[in-house]
Structure 1
Amino acid sequence: MAEAETTGSTQAGPKITLIWLNESRAQRIVWLLEELGLEYEVKAYKRREDKQAPAELKEFHPLGKAPVLIIDGRTLAESGFIVEYLVDRFGPRLKPPTDDADNYLQYKHLLHYAEGSLQPYLLLALVVSMIKGAPVPFFIKPITSRIADQLSKPFITPNLVSNFDYLESLLKGKLFFVGNELSGADILLSFPVESAAGRVGSWFNKEKYPNLFAWMDRIKERPAYTQAHDKVAKIEANL
């Protein structure tokens, strides 16, 4: 069952509805909407016991995933596309100008990189953790643990290390991923980087990745991030 809440500014603007799901990538879209100062409604849904999205989400998009943004009657899916659309239309300050070619191309690259290169390995890490934690008989447990380790050690972990090493290098001498100003790329990358802390292992730590952890502290200090966090907490409490 969905919980609906209208939030944001009171200025006249487009009619925006965010289809939101707990424990999903929709959280960062709330942050972006707050950064842009837009008025929006949240239709919130809760995952089923099996952690899958409820069937009701297919009323908004055939894939039944979240986030989905409905704006002035148009339905937008895919986090990267939603971020790009909102920034292009309402928040040019959240992207470099096109005549700043190096930063602009880096920004566009990161919008695709976050979902295309980084997120798949995090999903695999989540699947492996679910295999390891699966409620199976004790005599089966060594088998499932071995399968998980064979996926993780030679394949998932090395690729995650490469990706986070890359992101760490991008922040060298910079406050944000595209220069010293927040951009849509930072908002899009917030979910995979923050979720990594509880998903990929103890090797992802402040000592190994000081730039990434300083960046996480930095974005959490932004008023819009705090407002989004508080709104999401309220939504989750009412589900």
Structure 2
Amino acid sequence: MPPLKVHHLQYSQSERIPWLLHELALTNQPIPYELIIHRRAPYFSPPALVALHPMKAAPVLEDGPLILAESGAIIEYVLDTHAPSSTLKLRPNQPGYTNYLFWFHWANANLQPCIMRCVTLVRTGLPDSHPAKVGVVERLHTALAFLDAHLREDGVEWLAGPEGGFSAADIMMVFL
């Protein structure tokens, strides 16, 4: 089987994929891959990366003829097809599965958009008292307090909970 090709753009969600592959190697499930690093030009994806996928962003995974984008989709694909016995993906019959499932998706579906709305409104120069800015900042504080409360629960060191352990949900939460 030829190695996977991981197209990586530094300082982005693309960081998740090399980290996942590193963790798999640490758990004796190494997956051969070639890491292709693309440099920003100067802020956005360079032409070579843009040509790979219509979304013009990293990460992009090549597995033979398959070209797949989106870090969450790539993580699920790699774990399902190349490391199906990995403990980094919890299955429905495992303790911690619902925590794993929720936090895996919460990173991109809730926290990241919340952070981006906050950053955008801060950069508009609106006064801190503007209702739109107040609402977005409150939502971000609520989201971070929610995450913090989960991690402060007794025995919770990782997002999947004490029974789930370190998982791909933890990898998804980094590099928003």
What is the TM-score with the length of structure 1 in the denominator? 0.62
Cα distance in 2, alignment partners of residues 86 and 71 from structure 1: 10
**8 Å CA contact 1:58, 1:64 repeated in 2:** yes
**Residue 126 to residue 154, structure 1, CA distance change in 2 (3 Å):** closer
Specify which of 78, 85, 89 is matched with residue 95 of structure 1: 89
**Residue 156 to residue 56, structure 1, CA distance change in 2 (3 Å):** farther
1:82 aligns with 2:67: no
In structure 1, the gaps of 5 or more residues are: 1-12, 132-143, 193-239
1:31 — aligned with what?
Answer: 19
State the Cα distance separating 1:147 from its structure 2 match: 6.2
Cα distance in 2, alignment partners of residues 149 and 112 from structure 1: 32
Q: How does 1:119-130 map to 2 (within 5 A)?
A: 119-128=112-121
Specify which of 157, 160, 164 is matched with residue 144 of structure 2: 164
Query: Secondary structure of the equivalent of 2:12?
Result: coil
Q: Which one has a bigger Cα radius of gyration?
A: 1
1:17 aligns with 2:11: no
Partner AA of 1:77 in structure 2? A
State the Cα distance separating 1:151 from its structure 2 match: 7.7
How many positions carry a matched residue from both structures? 165
Cα distance in 2, alignment partners of residues 69 and 149 from structure 1: 44
**8 Å CA contact 1:125, 1:152 repeated in 2:** no
1:197 — aligned with what?
Answer: none
Cα distance in 1, alignment partners of residues 127 and 39 from structure 2: 30
**8 Å CA contact 2:5, 2:34 repeated in 1:** yes
What is the TM-score with the length of structure 2 in the denominator? 0.81
Q: How does 1:52-67 map to 2 (within 5 A)?
A: 52-67=44-59
Cα distance in 2, alignment partners of residues 40 and 161 from structure 1: 39
Cα distance in 2, alignment partners of residues 78 and 30 from structure 1: 14
Partner AA of 1:185 in structure 2? A
1:70 — aligned with what?
Answer: 62
1:44 — aligned with what?
Answer: 37
**8 Å CA contact 1:19, 1:68 repeated in 2:** yes
Query: Secondary structure of the equivalent of 2:36?
Result: strand
Query: Secondary structure of the equivalent of 1:20?
Result: strand
* Alpha-carbon RMSD: 2.3
In structure 2, the gaps of 5 or more residues are: 26-30
1:179 aligns with 2:172: no
